[in-house]
Amino acid sequence: MKRFILLLTLLTFGLASTPLVAADFDLVIRGGRVVDGTGNPWFNGDVAIRGDRIAAIGRVAGTADCEIDAKGLVVAPGFIDIHSHSDFLLLEDGHAQSKIRQGVTTEILGEGNSAGPYQGKLQPHSQNVRGKEREWRTLGGYFDVLDEARSSVNVASYVGLNNVWQSVMGNSFDRPTPEQIAEMGKLVDDAMREGALGLSSQVMMPPGSLATTEDVTALSRVVAKHGGIYSTHIRNEGTGVFESVKEAIEVGRQTKVPVDIIHLKIADQTFWGRMNEIVELIKAARIEGLNVQANVYPYTRGNNNLVSIIPPWAHEGGREKLLERLRDPEQRKRMKHDIENGIDGWYNHYTAVGRDWSRMLVSANTTFRGLTMDRVMAVRTKGRPDADLLDELFAILLDEGGSVSTVFAHHTDTDMTYALRQPWCSVGSDGSAYSIDGLLRRGNPHPRNFGTFPRVLGVYVRELGLLSLEDAVRKMTSLNAAKVGLTDRGLLRPGQFADVTVFDPATVIDNATYTEPFQYGTGIEHVIVNGQIVLQQGEHTGAMPGKVLRH
């Protein structure tokens, strides 16, 4: 007993008198297949993190407070989602579950709409942010609210053309005066100074479609002064796709601003199989010296709204005016004529899918959620062969207040993958940060919200061999970072911010479907954001270390 006490005393004294040595690193990811984001071949090695930065890569000696065994796994930069719509969902729940579980560490927000400005004729935006009512008028104000609320992902944003236009013009379809264009330019300038990455537009539907090429060019010149980018959902992805791509290129030509075409596609069966011609247009622009690029999502259906079938003129004055026109028999006749016969320059979703209601899937949280529109029509008309289905469309929109989110099957895998293979074409989800349970399980959203990045790795890398692993990772990391000017993210390099995704190349895959979208992907094992583990062995840790990334 005396010998045990003496030994315990000596051990205690020895431990107490030995100075504690701090670990060399906070976290080391050991023995993984490192795919660094450059497109260069992978190598076996370690990634060491100190604080919020990558400290060392390769054969890393030394100790760490925490280690992850990555043998058999791929270690890559955190994925950067260049086209995301999580603006307001992140304020409800900052855990960004469906994005983190895809390996996404940074979301780029904004298309036609952005989280600011809300000025002039646009009312300030008000939202309950985790139990506290918040209001803001500027994009910078949104950034401040998100900074305070916290998020698991980093966030950056464009300023949306719709917000800028409506802040000055309201719901009017009048042409802006030169003074009003200058006022819009001032709003763009303010947003750039507040941290916007550039200008984003959706010029397919009002209010964005009211802007001419000259209007967009004038606003992009403001962006160019700040070193920003022009990101655009082009004017017509269907039978007008060639002219619309040329328009985007012309904005770049006139302003020298980089151009990124959002979810490049041919969304009308009339022109299916001609993606090579669009690619040649972009290649020619690049040979000319214009920085024109594009992104895609790896699916052949796009999410829009049944109301997009209604001709543009019927949207003037806003939602209430639209509903009035839907009730007016004379206006309905005019709408039917335009829907069936088209309007020059208008992208007509109805004719783009061959007037086939079965290629429209309701994704809104309605009685018909998850049904294709042919089934909806059959239920509503009780199968009457003489039923006027456009009248039923108008009735549905009236019942639902003028909005029914819908997935349209309008482009092909052949065209999409031809674009995806181009060296300047990157990956974006066009999705939002949903969850399979809780507040953010709502509607019947597009599966891209849950599966975009695992799908690229599982289907187009492993199963089809369309892309190499290294190039796929580049398209989801450094290529997107370079487009928007994020110089300290998107690569595994010492000194870069420690955004890291660790996945199993043998199992990574998407699981979400169009009818059962609420399913996370498989194979994303660990996700680190700014040096903190957010996903560990496939489980969210609750950490919210994301930052707002101001340009």
**Domain regions of the chain by residue span:** 2-75, 158-261+282-291, 311-409
Domain boundaries 158-261+282-291, corresponding CATH code:
3.20.20.140
14, pLDDT greater than 50: no
Task: Give, to the nearest 10 degrees, the angle between helix 241-255 and helix 275-288.
Answer: 10
pLDDT of residue 258: 98
Which residues contact residue 369 at a Cβ distance below 8 angstroms, ignoring those fewer than 6 apart?
362, 363, 443, 444
pLDDT of residue 19: 45
pLDDT of residue 90: 98
pLDDT in tens, 446-473: 999 999 999 999 999 999 999 999 999 9
pLDDT of residue 10: 35
pLDDT in tens, 24-37: 999 999 999 999 99
The CATH fold assigned to 2-75 is Urease, subunit C; domain 1 (2.30.40)
pLDDT of residue 301: 87
pLDDT in tens, 101-140: 999 999 999 999 999 999 999 999 999 999 999 999 999 9
pLDDT in tens, 171-187: 999 999 999 999 999 99
Query: How far apart (Å, rounded) are the C-alpha atoms in residues 160 and 157?
Result: 9
| CA 372 and chain centroid, separation | 25
Beta strand residue intervals within 14-71, DSSP E: 25-34, 43-50, 53-58, 64-69
Mean pLDDT of the chain: 94
pLDDT in tens, 332-364: 999 999 999 989 888 888 988 999 999 999 988
Query: How far apart (Å, rounded) are the C-alpha atoms in residues 186 and 179?
Result: 11
Query: How far apart (Å, rounded) are the C-alpha atoms in residues 78 and 37?
Result: 9
Tokens 């022109």 sit at which residue?
271
Query: How far apart (Å, rounded) are the C-alpha atoms in residues 304 and 411?
Result: 14
Which residues contact residue 422 at a Cβ distance below 8 angstroms, ignoring those fewer than 6 apart?
279, 282, 294
Element (DSSP H or E) covering residue 502:
strand 500-503
pLDDT of residue 2: 38
**β-sheet bridge partners, residue 108:** 156
513, pLDDT greater than 50: yes
211, pLDDT greater than 90: yes
Which residues contact residue 18 at a Cβ distance below 8 angstroms, ignoring those fewer than 6 apart?
none
Query: How far apart (Å, rounded) are the C-alpha atoms in residues 64 and 24?
Result: 6
Q: What is the DSSP string of 362-405?
A: E-SSSTTTT-BHHHHHHHHHTT-TT--HHHHHHHHHHHTTT--E
551 or 76, greater pLDDT: 76
220, pLDDT greater than 50: yes
pLDDT in tens, 293-335: 999 999 998 888 999 999 999 999 999 999 999 999 999 999 9
Query: How far apart (Å, rounded) are the C-alpha atoms in residues 296 and 82?
Result: 10
The pTM of the whole model exceeds 0.85: yes
Q: How many C-beta neighbours within 10 Å does residue 498 have?
A: 27
Percent of the chain with pLDDT over 90: 88
231, pLDDT greater than 50: yes
pLDDT of residue 366: 84
Query: How far apart (Å, rounded) are the C-alpha atoms in residues 59 and 436?
Result: 39
223, pLDDT greater than 50: yes
Query: How far apart (Å, rounded) are the C-alpha atoms in residues 425 and 282?
Result: 11
15, pLDDT greater than 50: no
**β-sheet bridge partners, residue 53:** 50, 497
